C-alpha cells in the first residue's frame, strides 16, 4: 500500500509556525520530519511518524504555493485562494523576509548579481546555513532592491509599502539595499568584528544625511545614492589639515577644551594630527567610487584602530569627537561650517558605533 | 420579456502576463448571456485594467434567467493572431430572482481557467430587474427559494411541509461527443462546465415549478448530483423537500426553527411534544386501530424490480381532517389517519430533511434502504430521462414499501446516490422510516383538535424511540423492552437512523463517530456477468457492514446510531462499503449487552486461552469506552424494569451460511445469563480478522470528539472557532495476491490513518469536535482507492460541561422507574420467521435489473431475485419518546455568556457543512451556491505532482465559493458539501484531471454578541441554538 496522493485543505489555511521555520531554514521534508521527531512531538501528541510525514508534506506544499505570493506581499493580502487571518499573514511575511545575521554579513555591500549568487555555495558551507535558505535570503535582498531602486520617496517607506514589513525589518532592508547600491566593502578581515547592526546603524545615518533625499525629497533613488554634489564639496574640507595654521588652531582648541577631562589626553594630543588627517582625508577621497566603497575600511584603519591601540575608552572617544566637530565652528578662517556638520555629524555617529571590540 | 439583466465590468487585478515582450497584458472582457454577447474596450498594457464599462443590458425571459449562467470571459487582445483567453467566470444569477435574497451581485471573482487555474480577479456588478408575470402557464419558477440545509432554515418557520420533489435531466456528455477528438482539452472542459451549469439551472427551474404546483414557496434539503455515465450521457438529478416557509419577521424574534443545536419551543404550537404514544386516556392497543394494514412477510418477499405497484394504489383514507378530531378513537390512530391521508396523496412520502420542527417526528421505525444494479449501455434512449426516471421510481417505490412494512407512512432523512464503474451503475436510496405529525403536512385545519388532544397526553416526552409497528405482528425479530424513560411504551434495544439526533432526545454521555469498512474482491467481468457478480456480492456486503456497525456500537457501549450513511462503491475488481454514523446512548433504550466471543473448537486449551484473552480485551475496551464517552446510565434494578427474557439469537450468521455453502451453520444458544450478549463466533481466520479490526480502531486523542451528524450529542457549549476542511487520500494497492483480508486491512488503515492525521493537524483547536465528518470512497482505477473527507472542527468550552444535563436525565429516569413499578414485563418471543438473522439490520433490498434485456437472462435473474429475497429481511429500529424536559431543554444554556467578539476581518467567508455557525445567528439566506469545476493539467510534475495539483485545485474551489458568497453580500456558506471529487491521473503522460462539484447556502450571519441586547429579551430556553456565543474565526 503506497500513498499516491495525500492532501489537506482548510478553509482557513493552517500554518504551523514550527514547520514554517524548518521550511524557511531550507530543510528537506525528510530532514524536517527527523527534526520534528527529535522535538518530541510524537510523544506529546501520540502521533506516528507517518502522520508527521504527511503533515509536513502538506505544510511544505502550502508554503510552496504561498511562496509566489510572498514575493509580492501585497498580493498575499489581496489574493483569494488562501484565507489567512491578518495576524498570520503578517507573520508569514515577516518570517519570510527575516534573514540570518551570519548570512547578511557575507553579502552585505556585495553586488546582488548572478556572480554573487554563484558564491552562495561557499557562503552556505561557511555559515552552515542551508543553500536553500541562503538562496531565499539572497533573492529577498535582490527582489527588494529591484523593486525600490529608481523609486521616489523614503527608502524605508517604499520598502514597507511594497513588502509590508515591520518597521524594524524595513530599516534593515533599507540598509542592505543602501549597502548593495553603494557597494561598501564589509568583508575585509579588519571589519569582521562589526555586526550587521553596526552597519545598519551607519547606513541609516548616511541615508538621513548624505543622500540626495537629505536635501530633496522629490528625486528617484533619493535614499539610495549618495549626494554627488556633497561628495564633491567634501574636498573643501581638506583645508582643515592642509592649512597648517588651521590644523594647529583646531588642535589647540580641542586640547584646551578637553584638558583634564580625557583619560587618554596625552595620547590624544600626540595623535591629534594623525586622526584629524585621517578623518578629513576620508572625506576628501569620497569623490572616487573606489574610495566610497572603502569607507568603512578607512574609518577603521584611520580612526578606530589607532584609538583602540591606545585603549581609548568609548566615553573618551565620544568627548573627543564632540569637541573635534564643535571646535571647527570657532575656526574663523574656515568657511564650510554647514558642509562640515553634514559630514561630521554622521561620521561621529558612525564612529561611535564602530568603536568597540 | 419579464427580466432585464444588467452587468457592469469594473476592473481586473493580478492578471497574468500574456505578452512576454512587454510583461503586460492587453485585456478585454466578453460578457455573454444566452446568445447575446457584449465586449468591453481593450485596456492596453496593464495587469490591473480599469474597464469601468457601461451597463450591459440583456433583455431575457425569466426562464432563461433561471437556466443560463452569466458567462464572463477575460481575453488578451492580439492584433495579429487570435485573442488568447485568460479565463472565465460563471455567475449563477438565481439568487437575484427572489425577493428576500441578494439584490445585487458585486465583487471580485477569481478568473478561472481549466488548464491554468485561477489567473487574477475581475470586479463585476450584476443586477436584475424583474417584471411581474402573471402568466399561469409560465415555465419559470422564479421566486421559489432553494436551501441545501436539511432542516428548516433559521429565520424561517415552516407553515407546511409539502413533501418530496425530484427531477432529472439528461444530456450528451461533451467529453464523449465526436467533436472532442478534434477540440482542445480546454474547449472540451469548458463545454462540460457550461453544459452542467445550464442543466442545473434547468433542473432547479423544473423543481421550482413542481413546488409551485404544490403551492409551496421553497425547497429545503435540496440535493443535486451529477452522474457521469460516460457514453450514455450526463445526468443531473435533484431531490428536495417542498415547503411553505414564513420568514420570521423581526430578526430579534427569530428563533432557529427546529434544528441542530437548538430547540425552539415558543414559536410552534406543538412545543409540548405531542408524544402521542403515551395515550394516557386512550385504550391500550392503538396499533390495531390503524386504518391500513400491512403484511410484513409479504412485503419482504417481494422483489423490488417487480414490486409494489399495489402499494401506490393503497386506498386513501379520505378522512376529513376536520372530522377527525371528533372521533373518539385512540390518539395514535387518529394521528396516523390524518398523517396518512396527508401523505397518501403523495406518490412518495419522503423528506430529505434530517432535523425537524419540534413535534414533527412522532416515531422512528428504522433505516430503510434499497439498491439496484443497472447496465448503462442498455439504456434504450440514452438522451431521454425516461429510463433513469423509471429506475429511480422503482427504488423509491421499494423504499416506500419497506417503510410501510415498518408501520411507518413516511421516510425522513432520505437520500439517493449512485456509483458508476464503466457501464455498471449501482443506484442506492436510503432513509429512515418514520411516523410524522400531520400538523406540518397539511393546512392548519387539524391544528385545533390535535392541540386539545395533546394537552391530555403529557406525561413524558420519550416519543420517537417507541416502536411504530405492531409488536405482535413484527416484520422482523426484535428485542423489545419497555421504554427506560416512560415505562409505558415498547422500544427496541438498538436504533439505527439516517437523521440527526432530535434536539430533545435524552442522551447519556457523548457520542462518537462509528464506521464500518469493508472491501470485497470481484472478478473483472463484462456487462451482465459483471452486474450479476455485483448484485450477488451486495447483500453480503450489506450484511457485514451491519454486523460491523453493530459490533462497534456495542464495543462503544452505545445503543443507537444517527446519521447513518452507507456507501457502496463499485470498481473494476472490487466493491467497497463504507458506513459512517454517530453512535449515542439513548436514555430511553436499554443498556447494550456486551460482546461474547465463542470459539469453534472449545476443547483446545491454547485456543481457549486465546479466546478468553480476546474476550478480556473486548470487555476492557467496552469499559474504557464507557468512561471515555461518559456513559454511566443510572443503575435501575432489574426487577423494576423487568429484564427482557433473552431470546435465543440463533442463526446469527445465518445469512452467510445460507448463501455460501462453505460456511457451516452453527446454531448457537446465545442466552448468556440475563443480559443479552452479542456473540461473535470465531470460526475462521476471517472472523478473527473481524475481531481484530474491532479492536484496532483507536479512539481519538483526548480533547477530540468526532461525529458525522450536525452536532455532537452531549456537547453543546460550542465556542466560536471553526475550521472546515477537505482531505483527500489515494492509495495504490500492490496488485499481487490481493485477498479480501489484505484489502480490508489496507482500507481500514487508510481510513484510520486519515483520521489520525486530522486529529494531529487540528491539535491546536483542542478541545474540539469534528462534526459532520463525511467520508466518500471512490475507485478511480484498478488498484487505486480514493477517500475524500470533508468535515468541520469546532472548538468547545471544556469547563462548561453539562452537569445539569446529567442531573436532569437521572432525575427523569428515577421518576420514570418509580412511576412504572407496577408495569408488567412481557418476555418477548418475537422470532418471526425463518429468515430472521441479524438482530437489527435495516430493511434492505438489492435488485438487479437490465433494462431491455430481461428475457434472455431471465433464469439467472430469477436466481438473483431469490438471493435478494433471502437477504431482504426488512427490519426495524425504533425510537424513543423523549422526556419533555430534555437535557438540552433548559438550564445549561442560561449561564452561557457570550464572549465579546474581537477582531472581525473584512472579507472573511466561513464555510461549514453544518446548518449553523456557532456563536452567531444567521439573519439572511442569500441563495444557493452550486458550482462545478473541471481542472486539467498537462504538466503534472511541474505543478507538484498529483498532491500539488489537487491541493491547489481544492484551494481554488474554496476561493471561488467564498468569492461568490462575498459578492452576494454574504459572510458564510452553511450546509456546504463537496458532492463530487472525481480525480483521474495519467502520470506517464504527465497529465491529470479533476472534477469537483460543491454546494451550500450563502448566508449573512451576525455574531451573537452583537445581538445580545436583543436576545436578552428572549427567554433563555429559546436561544438555545447558538449556544455559546462569541466571535467566529475561521
The verdict on residue A134 lying in a domain is yes
What span, in angstroms and rounded, lies between the C-alpha atoms of B288 and B91?
56
What span, in angstroms and rounded, lies between the C-alpha atoms of B564 and B943?
38
Q: Which three cell numbers stand for residue B224?
A: 443535486
Chain-chain contact of B121 with A85 (C-beta, under 8 angstroms): no
Chain-chain contact of B761 with A46 (C-beta, under 8 angstroms): no
What span, in angstroms and rounded, lies between the C-alpha atoms of B96 and B102?
6
User: pLDDT for A136-147, tens place per residue?
Assistant: 999 999 999 999
Q: Does A7 touch chain B (CB under 8 A)?
A: yes
Q: Which three cell numbers stand for residue B767?
A: 478541545
Chain-chain contact of A5 with B750 (C-beta, under 8 angstroms): no
**CA-to-CA separations, B559 to A44, A48, B495, B877, in angstroms, rounded:** 33, 32, 7, 11
Residue B840 has pLDDT above 80, yes or no: no
Average pLDDT over residues B549-578: 90
Q: Does B728 touch chain A (CB under 8 A)?
A: yes
What is the crossing angle of helices A265-285 and A314-327, to 10°?
Answer: 60
* % of chain B with per-residue pLDDT over 90: 27
pLDDT value of position A25: 94
Chain-chain contact of A7 with B951 (C-beta, under 8 angstroms): yes
Chain-chain contact of B118 with A80 (C-beta, under 8 angstroms): yes
Average pLDDT over residues B72-90: 89
**CA-to-CA separations, B145 to B217, B745, B967, B1023, in angstroms, rounded:** 6, 46, 19, 25
**Quick one: A183 and A232 in the same domain?**
no
- Decide which of B280 and B372 is more confident: B372
Candidate from A204-218, A296-310, B324-338 with smallest mean pLDDT: B324-338
**Quick one: A176 and A260 in the same domain?**
no
For B109, which residue in chain A has the nearest alpha carbon?
A80
Q: Which residues of chain B make contact with A10, given a CB cutoff of 8 A? A: 723-725
pLDDT value of position B1014: 47
Average pLDDT over residues A263-286: 89
- Decide which of B476 and A71 is more confident: A71
- Decide which of B159 and B837 is more confident: B159
For B111, which residue in chain A has the nearest alpha carbon?
A80
Chosen domain end from A210, A238, A256: A210
Average pLDDT over residues A7-16: 93
The verdict on residue A310 lying in a domain is yes
**Quick one: A172 and A233 in the same domain?**
no
Identity of the highest mean pLDDT range in B231-235, B798-802, B859-863: B231-235
**CA-to-CA separations, B439 to A236, B161, B449, B698, in angstroms, rounded:** 102, 9, 10, 45
pLDDT bin (cut points 50, 70, 90) of residue B815 is very low
Q: Does B48 touch chain A (CB under 8 A)?
A: no
**Quick one: A58 and A153 in the same domain?**
no
Q: Does A8 touch chain B (CB under 8 A)?
A: yes
pLDDT bin (cut points 50, 70, 90) of residue A23 is very high
Chain-chain contact of A12 with B757 (C-beta, under 8 angstroms): no
pLDDT value of position B690: 66
Average pLDDT over residues A254-282: 88
pLDDT value of position B618: 83
Among the partner-chain residues A4, A52, A61, the one whose CB lies closest to the CB of B951 is A61
**Quick one: A252 and A348 in the same domain?**
yes
- With b for 16 or more beta-carbon neighbours within 10 A and e for fewer, the A261-282 pattern comes to ebebeebbbebbeebbbbbbbb
For B963, which residue in chain A has the nearest alpha carbon?
A80
Average pLDDT over residues B822-836: 35
Chain-chain contact of A1 with B729 (C-beta, under 8 angstroms): no
* B566 phi and psi angles, rounded to 5 deg: -110, 120
Average pLDDT over residues B570-584: 91
Residue B895 has pLDDT above 60, yes or no: no
Average pLDDT over residues B716-737: 85
Number of domains composing chain A: 3
**Quick one: A128 and A181 in the same domain?**
yes
Q: Which three cell numbers stand for residue A180?
A: 548593495
**CB atoms closer than 10 angstroms to residue B175:** 17
Chosen domain end from A53, A82, A111: A82
Among the partner-chain residues B121, B753, B948, the one whose CB lies closest to the CB of A80 is B121
The verdict on residue A287 lying in a domain is yes
What span, in angstroms and rounded, lies between the C-alpha atoms of B97 and B110?
23
User: pLDDT for B158-199, tens place per residue?
Assistant: 888 888 999 999 988 888 877 777 788 888 888 889 899 899
What span, in angstroms and rounded, lies between the C-alpha atoms of B617 and B626?
14
Dihedral (CA of B229, B517, B304, B210) sign: negative
Chain-chain contact of A55 with B757 (C-beta, under 8 angstroms): yes
Average pLDDT over residues B787-816: 63
Residue A194 domain boundaries: 101-210
Average pLDDT over residues B198-222: 90
Average pLDDT over residues B893-903: 34
Q: Which residues of chain B make contact with A50, given a CB cutoff of 8 A? A: 753
pLDDT value of position B445: 38
* % of chain B with per-residue pLDDT over 70: 66
What span, in angstroms and rounded, lies between the C-alpha atoms of B651 and B208?
50
Residue B558 has pLDDT above 60, yes or no: yes
User: pLDDT for B5-27, tens place per residue?
Assistant: 999 999 999 899 988 888 888 99
What span, in angstroms and rounded, lies between the C-alpha atoms of B616 and B598?
13
Q: Which residues of chain B make contact with A75, given a CB cutoff of 8 A? A: 14
**Quick one: A252 and A307 in the same domain?**
yes
Residue A264 has pLDDT above 80, yes or no: yes
Average pLDDT over residues A22-40: 93
Chosen domain end from A210, A240, A273: A210
Q: Is A103 exposed, middle or buried (0-12, 13-18, 19+ CB in 10 A)?
A: buried
* B704 phi and psi angles, rounded to 5 deg: -110, 140
Residues whose CB falls within 8 Å of the CB of residue A115, separated by 6 or more in sequence, listed in order: none
**Quick one: A113 and A144 in the same domain?**
yes
Q: Which three cell numbers stand for residue B763?
A: 491539535
Interfacial A residues in 60-89 facing B (CB < 8 Å): 61-62, 64-65, 75, 78-83, 85-86
Among the partner-chain residues B731, B947, B962, the one whose CB lies closest to the CB of A7 is B947
**Quick one: A106 and A45 in the same domain?**
no
Chain-chain contact of B730 with A46 (C-beta, under 8 angstroms): no
What span, in angstroms and rounded, lies between the C-alpha atoms of A330 and A311?
29
pLDDT bin (cut points 50, 70, 90) of residue B119 is very high
Among the partner-chain residues A12, A45, A61, the one whose CB lies closest to the CB of B947 is A61
Among the partner-chain residues A1, A14, A79, the one whose CB lies closest to the CB of B746 is A1
Q: Does B757 touch chain A (CB under 8 A)?
A: yes
Mapped onto helix, strand or coil, the DSSP state of residue B101 is coil
Chain-chain contact of A11 with B1034 (C-beta, under 8 angstroms): yes
CA distance to partner chain A, nearest, from residue B765 (Å): 11
The verdict on residue A220 lying in a domain is no
**Quick one: A238 and A190 in the same domain?**
no
Q: Does B942 touch chain A (CB under 8 A)?
A: no
Whether B204 and B146 have beta carbons less than 8 Å apart is answered as yes
pLDDT value of position B311: 32
Q: What is the mean pLDDT of chain B?
A: 73
Candidate from A201-215, A247-261, B855-869 with smallest mean pLDDT: B855-869
pLDDT value of position B308: 32
Residue B405 has pLDDT above 60, yes or no: yes
Chain-chain contact of A3 with B1033 (C-beta, under 8 angstroms): no
**CA-to-CA separations, B259 to B153, B510, B709, B721, B1026, in angstroms, rounded:** 8, 19, 12, 20, 11
For A41, which residue in chain B has the nearest alpha carbon?
B760
The verdict on residue A241 lying in a domain is yes
Give the strand order in the sheet containing B574-586: B495-496, B560-570, B574-586, B507-521
CA distance to partner chain A, nearest, from residue B945 (Å): 9
Q: Which three cell numbers stand for residue B10?
A: 469594473
CA distance to partner chain B, nearest, from residue A111 (Å): 25
Residue B587 has pLDDT above 70, yes or no: yes
Chain-chain contact of A11 with B723 (C-beta, under 8 angstroms): yes
What span, in angstroms and rounded, lies between the C-alpha atoms of B413 and B350?
8
Q: Does A242 touch chain B (CB under 8 A)?
A: no
Among the partner-chain residues B761, B908, B948, the one whose CB lies closest to the CB of A55 is B761
Average pLDDT over residues B559-563: 91
pLDDT value of position B280: 35
User: pLDDT for B661-689, tens place per residue?
Assistant: 223 323 333 333 333 445 666 655 566 66
Q: CA torsion B353→B355→B360→B363, rounded to 10°?
A: 100
Q: Which residues of chain B make contact with A83, given a CB cutoff of 8 A? A: 908-909, 958-959, 962, 1034
Among the partner-chain residues A54, A75, A83, the one whose CB lies closest to the CB of B757 is A54
pLDDT value of position B87: 93
Q: Which three cell numbers stand for residue B729?
A: 487520500
- Decide which of B251 and B499 is more confident: B499
Q: Which residues of chain A make contact with B996, given a CB cutoff of 8 A? A: none
User: pLDDT for B620-651, tens place per residue?
Assistant: 888 888 888 888 777 654 444 444 433 333 33
Q: Which residues of chain B make contact with A81, given a CB cutoff of 8 A? A: 110, 118, 955-956, 958-959
Q: Does A3 touch chain B (CB under 8 A)?
A: yes
* B578 phi and psi angles, rounded to 5 deg: -135, 120
Whether B593 and B679 have beta carbons less than 8 Å apart is answered as no
Determine if residue B880 is left, alpha or beta; phi over 0 gives left, psi from -120 to 50 gives alpha, anything else beta: beta
**Quick one: A252 and A163 in the same domain?**
no
What span, in angstroms and rounded, lies between the C-alpha atoms of B171 and B156?
36
pLDDT bin (cut points 50, 70, 90) of residue B660 is very low
Interfacial B residues in 944-983 facing A (CB < 8 Å): 944, 946-948, 950-952, 954-956, 958-960, 962-963, 983
What span, in angstroms and rounded, lies between the C-alpha atoms of B872 and B659?
13
Q: Does B917 touch chain A (CB under 8 A)?
A: no
pLDDT value of position B831: 34
**What is the SS3 assignment for A171-185?**
HHHHHHHHHHHHCCC
Host H or E run for residue B285: none
pLDDT value of position B463: 74
User: pLDDT for B345-394, tens place per residue?
Assistant: 567 889 999 988 877 888 888 899 999 999 888 787 777 888 899 999 99
The verdict on residue A322 lying in a domain is yes
**Quick one: A206 and A236 in the same domain?**
no
Residue B982 has pLDDT above 80, yes or no: yes
The number of C-beta contacts closer than 8 angstroms across A and B is 134
Residue B834 has pLDDT above 50, yes or no: no
pLDDT value of position B680: 62
Q: Determine the length of chain B.
A: 1034
| Alpha helices by DSSP H, A11-154 | 17-24, 29-38, 41-45, 49-70, 73-78, 86-97, 101-107, 114-118, 120-127, 131-148
The verdict on residue A69 lying in a domain is yes
pLDDT value of position B854: 35
pLDDT bin (cut points 50, 70, 90) of residue B1009 is confident
pLDDT bin (cut points 50, 70, 90) of residue B601 is low
Residue B286 has pLDDT above 60, yes or no: no
CA distance to partner chain B, nearest, from residue A6 (Å): 4
The verdict on residue A222 lying in a domain is no
* % of chain A with per-residue pLDDT over 90: 53
Amino acid at each position: 500500500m503506497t500513498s499516491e496522493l495525500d492532501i489537506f485543505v482548510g478553509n482557513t489555511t493552517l500554518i504551523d509556525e514550527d514547520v514554517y521555520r524548518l521550511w524557511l531554514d531550507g530543510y528537506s521534508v525528510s530532514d524536517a520530519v527527523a527534526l520534528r521527531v527529535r522535538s518530541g512531538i510524537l510523544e506529546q501528541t501520540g502521533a506516528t511518524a507517518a502522520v508527521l510525514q504527511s503533515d509536513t508534506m502538506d505544510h511544505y506544499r502550502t508554503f510552496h504555493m504561498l511562496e509566489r505570493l510572498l514575493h509580492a506581499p501585497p498580493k498575499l493580502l489581496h489574493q483569494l485562494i488562501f484565507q489567512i487571518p491578518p495576524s498570520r499573514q503578517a507573520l508569514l511575511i515577516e518570517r519570510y523576509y527575516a534573514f540570518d545575521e551570519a548570512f547578511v554579513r557575507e553579502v552585505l555591500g556585495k553586488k546582488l548579481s548572478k556572480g554573487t549568487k554563484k558564491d552562495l555555495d561557499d557562503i552556505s558551507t561557511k555559515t552552515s546555513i542551508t543553500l536553500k535558505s541562503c538562496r531565499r535570503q539572497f533573492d529577498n535582498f535582490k527582489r527588494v532592491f529591484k523593486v525600490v531602486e529608481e523609486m521616489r520617496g523614503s527608502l524605508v517607506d517604499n520598502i514597507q509599502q511594497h513588502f509590508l514589513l515591520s518597521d524594524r525589518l524595513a530599516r534593515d532592508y533599507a540598509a542592505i539595499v543602501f549597502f548593495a547600491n553603494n557597494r561598501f566593502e564589509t568583508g575585509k578581515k579588519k571589519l569582521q568584528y562589526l555586526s550587521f547592526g553596526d552597519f545598519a546603524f551607519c547606513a541609516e545615518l548616511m541615508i538621513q544625511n548624505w543622500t540626495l533625499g537629505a536635501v530633496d525629497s522629490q528625486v528617484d533613488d533619493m535614499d539610495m545614492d549618495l549626494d554627488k554634489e556633497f561628495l564633491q564639496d567634501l574636498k573643501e574640507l581638506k583645508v582643515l589639515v592642509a592649512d597648517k595654521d588651521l590644523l594647529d588652531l583646531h588642535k589647540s582648541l580641542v586640547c584646551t577644551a578637553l584638558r583634564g577631562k580625557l583619560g587618554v589626553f596625552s595620547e590624544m594630543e600626540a595623535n591629534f594630527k594623525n586622526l584629524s588627517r585621517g578623518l578629513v582625508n576620508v572625506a576628501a577621497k569620497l569623490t572616487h567610487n573606489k574610495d566610497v566603497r572603502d569607507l568603512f575600511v578607512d574609518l577603521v584603519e584611520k580612526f578606530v584602530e589607532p584609538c583602540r591601540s591606545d585603549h581609548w575608552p568609548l566615553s573618551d572617544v565620544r568627548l573627543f569627537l564632540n569637541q573635534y566637530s564643535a571646535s571647527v565652528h570657532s575656526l574663523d578662517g574656515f568657511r564650510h561650517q554647514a558642509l562640515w556638520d553634514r559630514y561630521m555629524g554622521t561620521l561621529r555617529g558612525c564612529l561611535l558605533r564602530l568603536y568597540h571590540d | 420579456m419579464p427580466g432585464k439583466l444588467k452587468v457592469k465590468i469594473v476592473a481586473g487585478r493580478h492578471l497574468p502576463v500574456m505578452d512576454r515582450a512587454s510583461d503586460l497584458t492587453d485585456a478585454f472582457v466578453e460578457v455573454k448571456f444566452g446568445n447575446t454577447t457584449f465586449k468591453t474596450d481593450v485596456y492596453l498594457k496593464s495587469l490591473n485594467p480599469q474597464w469601468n464599462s457601461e451597463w450591459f443590458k440583456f433583455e431575457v425571459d425569466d426562464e432563461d434567467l433561471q437556466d443560463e449562467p452569466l458567462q464572463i470571459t477575460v481575453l488578451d487582445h492580439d492584433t495579429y493572431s487570435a485573442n488568447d483567453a485568460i479565463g472565465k467566470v460563471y455567475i449563477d444569477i438565481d439568487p437575484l430572482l427572489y425577493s428576500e435574497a441578494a439584490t445585487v451581485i458585486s465583487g471580485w471573482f477569481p478568473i478561472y481557467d481549466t488548464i491554468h487555474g485561477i489567473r487574477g480577479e475581475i470586479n463585476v456588478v450584476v443586477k436584475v430587474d424583474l417584471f411581474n408575470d402573471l402568466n399561469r402557464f409560465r415555465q419559470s419558477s422564479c421566486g421559489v427559494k432553494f436551501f441545501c440545509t436539511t432542516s428548516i432554515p433559521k429565520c424561517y418557520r415552516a407553515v407546511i411541509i409539502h413533501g418530496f420533489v425530484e427531477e432529472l435531466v439528461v444530456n450528451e456528455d461533451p467529453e464523449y461527443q465526436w467533436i472532442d477528438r478534434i477540440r482542445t482539452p480546454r474547449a472540451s472542459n469548458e463545454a462540460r462546465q457550461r453544459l452542467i451549469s445550464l442543466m442545473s439551472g434547468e433542473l432547479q427551474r423544473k423543481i421550482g415549478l413542481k413546488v409551485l404546483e404544490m403551492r409551496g414557496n421553497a425547497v429545503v434539503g435540496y440535493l443535486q448530483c451529477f452522474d457521469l455515465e460516460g457514453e450514455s450521457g450526463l445526468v443531473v438529478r435533484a431531490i428536495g423537500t417542498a415547503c411553505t416557509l414564513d420568514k420570521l419577521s423581526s430578526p430579534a424574534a427569530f428563533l432557529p426553527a427546529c434544528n441542530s443545536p437548538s430547540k425552539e419551543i415558543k414559536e410552534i404550537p406543538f412545543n409540548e411534544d405531542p408524544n402521542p404514544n403515551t395515550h394516557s386516556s386512550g385504550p391500550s392497543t392503538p396499533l390495531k386501530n390503524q386504518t391500513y394494514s400491512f403484511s410484513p412477510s409479504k412485503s419482504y418477499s417481494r422483489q423490488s424490480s417487480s414490486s409494489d405497484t399495489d402499494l401506490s394504489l393503497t386506498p386513501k383514507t379520505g378522512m376529513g381532517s376536520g372530522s377527525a378530531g371528533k372521533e373518539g378513537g385512540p390518539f395514535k390512530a387518529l394521528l396516523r389517519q390524518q398523517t396518512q391521508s396527508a401523505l397518501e396523496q403523495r406518490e412518495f412520502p419522503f423528506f430529505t430533511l434530517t432535523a425537524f420542527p419540534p413535534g414533527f417526528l412522532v416515531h422512528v421505525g428504522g433505516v430503510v434502504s434499497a439498491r439496484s444494479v443497472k447496465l448503462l449501455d442498455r439504456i434504450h434512449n440514452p438522451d431521454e430521462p425516461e429510463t433513469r426516471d423509471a429506475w429511480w421510481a422503482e427504488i423509491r417505490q421499494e423504499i416506500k414499501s419497506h417503510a410501510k412494512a415498518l408501520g411507518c407512512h413516511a421516510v425522513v432523512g432520505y437520500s439517493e446516490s449512485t456509483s458508476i464503474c464503466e457501464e455498471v451503475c449501482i443506484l442506492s436510496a436510503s432513509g429512515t422510516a418514520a411516523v410524522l405529525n400531520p400538523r406540518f403536512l397539511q393546512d392548519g385545519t387539524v391544528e385545533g383538535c390535535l392541540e386539545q388532544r395533546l394537552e391530555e397526553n403529557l406525561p413524558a416526552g420519550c416519543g420517537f424511540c417507541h416502536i411504530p409497528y405492531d409488536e405482535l405482528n413484527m416484520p422482523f425479530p426484535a428485542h423489545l423492552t419497555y421504554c427506560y424513560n416512560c415505562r409505558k411504551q415498547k422500544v427496541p434495544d438498538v436504533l439505527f437512523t439516517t437523521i440527526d439526533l432530535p434536539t430533545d432526545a435524552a442522551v447519556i454521555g457523548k457520542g462518537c463517530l462509528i464506521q464500518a469498512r469493508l472491501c470485497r474482491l470481484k472478478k473483472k467481468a463484462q456487462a451482465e456477468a459483471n452486474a450479476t457478480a455485483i448484485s450477488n456480492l451486495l447483500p453480503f456486503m450489506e450484511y457485514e457492514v451491519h454486523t460491523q456497525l453493530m459490533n462497534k456500537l456495542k464495543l462503544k457501549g452505545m445503543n443507537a446510531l444517527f446519521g447513518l450513511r452507507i456507501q457502496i462503491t463499485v470498481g473494476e475488481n472490487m466493491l467497497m462499503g463504507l458506513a459512517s454514523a454517530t453512535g449515542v446512548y439513548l436514555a430511553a433504550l436499554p443498556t447494550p449487552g456486551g460482546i461474547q466471543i465463542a470459539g469453534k473448537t472449545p476443547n483446545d486449551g491454547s485456543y481457549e486461552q486465546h479466546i478468553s484473552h480476546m474476550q478480556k480485551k473486548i470487555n476492557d475496551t467496552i469499559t474504557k469506552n464507557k468512561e471515555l464517552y461518559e456513559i454511566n446510565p443510572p443503575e435501575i434494578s432489574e426487577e423494576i424494569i423487568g429484564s427482557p427474557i433473552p431470546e435465543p439469537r440463533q442463526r446469527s450468521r445465518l445469512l452467510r451460511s445460507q448463501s455460501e455453502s462453505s460456511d457451516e451453520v452453527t446454531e448457537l444458544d446465545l442466552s448468556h445469563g440475563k443480559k443479552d450478549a452479542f456473540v461473535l463466533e470465531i470460526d475462521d481466520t476471517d472472523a478473527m480478522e473481524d475481531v481484530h479490526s474491532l479492536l484496532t480502531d483507536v479512539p481519538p486523542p483526548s480533547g477530540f470528539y468526532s461525529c458525522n451528524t450536525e452536532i455532537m450529542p452531549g456537547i453543546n457549549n460550542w465556542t466560536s472557532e471553526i475550521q472546515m476542511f477537505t482531505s483527500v487520500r489515494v492509495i495504490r494497492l500492490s496488485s499481487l495476491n490481493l485477498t479480501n483480508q489484505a484489502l480490508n486491512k489496507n482500507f481500514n488503515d487508510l481510513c484510520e490513518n486519515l483520521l489520525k492525521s486530522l486529529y494531529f493537524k487540528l491539535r491546536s483547536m483542542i478541545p474540539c469536535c469534528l462534526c459532520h465528518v463525511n467520508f466518500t470512497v471512490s475507485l478511480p482505477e484498478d488498484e487505486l482507492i480514493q477517500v475524500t473527507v470533508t468535515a468541520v472542527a469546532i472548538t468547545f468550552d471544556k469547563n462548561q460541561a453539562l452537569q445539569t444535563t446529567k442531573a436532569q436525565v437521572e432525575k427523569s429516569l428515577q421518576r420514570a422507574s418509580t412511576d412504572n413499578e407496577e408495569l408488567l414485563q412481557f418476555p418477548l418471543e418475537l422470532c418471526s420467521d425463518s429468515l430472521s438473522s441479524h438482530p437489527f439490520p435495516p430493511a434492505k433490498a438489492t435488485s438487479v435489473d437490465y433494462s431491455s434485456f430481461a428475457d434472455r437472462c431471465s433464469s439467472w435473474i430469477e436466481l438473483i431475485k431469490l438471493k435478494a429475497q433471502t437477504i431482504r429481511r426488512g427490519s426495524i429500529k425504533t425510537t424513543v419518546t423523549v422526556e419533555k424536559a430534555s437535557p438540552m431543554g433548559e438550564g445549561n444554556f442560561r449561564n452561557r455568556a457570550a464572549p465579546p467578539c474581537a477582531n472581525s476581518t473584512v472579507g472573511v467567508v466561513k464555510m461549514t457543512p453544518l446548518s449553523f455557525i456557532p456563536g452567531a445567528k444567521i439573519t439572511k439566506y442569500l441563495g444557493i451556491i452550486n458550482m462545478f469545476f473541471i481542472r486539467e493539467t498537462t504538466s503534472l510534475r511541474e505543478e507538484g505532482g498529483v498532491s500539488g495539483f489537487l491541493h491547489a485545485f481544492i484551494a481554488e474551489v474554496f476561493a471561488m465559493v467564498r468569492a461568490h458568497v462575498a459578492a452576494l453580500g454574504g459572510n458564510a456558506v452553511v450546509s456546504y458539501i463537496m458532492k463530487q471529487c472525481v480525480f483521474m491521473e495519467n502520470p506517464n503522460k504527465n497529465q491529470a484531471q479533476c472534477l469537483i462539484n460543491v454546494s451550500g447556502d450563502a448566508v449573512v450571519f451576525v455574531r451573537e454578541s452583537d445581538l445580545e441586547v436583543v436576545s436578552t429579551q428572549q427567554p433563555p430556553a429559546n436561544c438555545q441554538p447558538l449556544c455559546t456565543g462569541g466571535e467566529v474565526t475561521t
